[in-house]
Amino acid sequence: MRTTEPSAPSAPLEAPRGLKGVIVTDTALGDVRGAEGFYHYREYSAVELAASRGFEDVWHLMVHGALPTPAERARFAAQTAALRHLSPEVRAALPAVARATGASGPLAGLRTALSLTGAAAGFRPVYDLDPAARQADALAACAAVPTLLTALHRLGRGLEPVEPRDDLPCAANYLYMLTGEEPDPGRARAVEQYLISTVDHGFNASTFTGRVIASTGADLAACLVGAVGALSGPLHGGAPSRALDTLDAIGSPDRIDGWLREHIAAGERIMGFGHPVYRTEDPRSRLLKGIAREIGGELVDFAVQVEERAEALLAELKPGRELHINVEFYAGVVMELCGLPREMFTPTFAAARVVGWSANILEQAADSKIIRPSARYVGTPPPRPVPAA
């Protein structure tokens, strides 16, 4: 009788630090083509969508795979507007969440509030749900996030939350809940374009985190809480206000070169410049720069001067590196011009990105394979005797 020797286990594949350039799965949701300075949602340019469509249209595209017809747009807008209202249990708990998170701000509170929202709504593991039920949970969570964020912000300032309005589109309703006032249409459109431009952006850290959690079969709220945690890091979503802080630190045009040279020479990162994927100008920054220039003002003029000098000095002092402005640079300028407090910059990013996270979670949930990579052990080589106690 012939026997076959068992084959030796294959050596694990080596991967670069940060998984840079590693393809981990297939997706139909979109892509980032860094060498070209281009990104898209499904088959459409994200920048063109931001220029010509509303937020609800793009949300529909990400969830349903197609841009809506006028009738579908009306139905989807009505469906999602009705989901903006929080349950009594969640509303009652938000003051305590706001007090507990305090100076950490609404994004920290969102992690707790999202978890509570999912529990109160009875979200079940995506592993146990059919696609329609998963999609229903995703829409409910996405619709609730702007309401949660604005309520936490207002409570943190000693103000009562503002109930959402069903007659306003997403961006205008967000500004209304934030300020309690009817939003200026031009400012609302500028915020809407920002929201559209940040819905999704390939397998960034927060999206990948959400997909890893989804691969375990966890409920949708758990997946989103993990994604929010990843977004909170200053190397990911925590930079828009920091880029604006850089403009404040420079202060005036006569200080631009001196300030930049000093900080570049010290090896410090200039917030708002450089991106791990793009080797050209970030197309989102190009869009937002155009929006900022349409609004105009001294802040915009100063930001343009800083951008031009920073790119020139980075090219001079760091030759061979492609360091251009990224989305955070003009995102901070646009949000400042539209009246958003700086502590709400990254939460506003989350209010948009939750749509992309949810679409990725739904896509991942359709695959029953858990994401389980390996690590290379570099400690003291085993085996080693255990010392006596």
Cβ(61)–Cβ(42) below 8 Å: yes
Q: Which of 56, 192, 307, 328 is catalytic?
A: 328
Q: Which of 60, 153, 275, 324 is catalytic?
A: 275
* Per-residue 3-state assignment (H helix, E strand, C coil) for 44-68: EEHHHHHHHCCHHHHHHHHHHCCCC
**Cα–Cα distance between 94 and 227 in angstroms, integer?**
20
Non-local (6+) Cβ contacts of 147 within 8 A are: 84, 85, 86, 161, 164, 177
Active site residue 275: yes
**Cα–Cα distance between 53 and 77 in angstroms, integer?**
13
**Cα–Cα distance between 109 and 121 in angstroms, integer?**
18
Please name the residue that has the structure tokens 């590693």: 22
Q: Is 305 left (phi over 0), alpha (psi -120 to 50) or beta?
A: alpha
Q: For the chain, give the longest Cα–Cα distance.
A: 88
Active site residue 294: no
**Cα–Cα distance between 196 and 48 in angstroms, integer?**
10
**Cα–Cα distance between 97 and 112 in angstroms, integer?**
7
**Running DSSP on this structure, what letter comes out for residue 253?**
G
> How far, in Å, are 94, 95, 113, 116, 221 from residue 89 at the CA level?
9, 12, 11, 9, 16
The catalytic residue positions are 275, 328
